[in-house]
Structure 1
């Protein structure tokens, strides 16, 4: 049985929705939202539908599509950069978005899964990023 590919808003677009950041105005104006499996790697094989929430009042702009929680959006960005693009994600600043303890706990679940999947170089980048950005 083939696993369903769940499309959802992720990356900085999701952080803007869940954090109500003013940067979202550009997304609303253009209708351009970063989508899993298109703009970012599809991580549903790793994380399932954990951390996927309603886009709330933004659904009139986004349509009937889920949105990544802040922890899931950060995990998606870290995964995409390290595992797909093979680059260090120094632009993904953890503490700017995960302000609540429960967000950190949620993210660390995703981080543990990524560590289990990582090869040597990926493992090194994950641990370096965690040491640099996760306080």
Structure 2
């Protein structure tokens, strides 16, 4: 997306267009599943001195407005993504922490049927798949490297 597209997104969400908001939107769009440190680094690369708090505030405003999505797999830091408005899930590598999107297997939300919804009106199902990414699966482990070195 381009800056005019980001400006339009902000205006449609009834938000003022500011340089920090544009920079944060750009960072999240360019770096899917970025943590706050990555977003801060990207924003500072484009704008110069911007406080951590300013970036945190913008991320909160954009999340509240539905322009970005905050995800936080168990044991991981919060990540932000620009893919909003659908019911996709995530796969997370237990070794390196890489995160990828996984489309819902059934369709629009909720894609899972709860065994008992306890009277809730369900509108979203969040699933996190855990495993090992292809890079980590094929990387030699320290133990294997030691064993191979003694042969």
* TM-score clears 0.5: no
Higher CA-based Rg: 2
Q: TM-score range by the shorter chain?
A: 0.3 to 0.5
- State the TM-score, normalizing by the size of structure 2: 0.30
Q: Going by fraction, where is helix more abundant, 1 or 2?
A: 1
Q: Which has the higher contact order (CA 8 A, sep 6+)?
A: 1
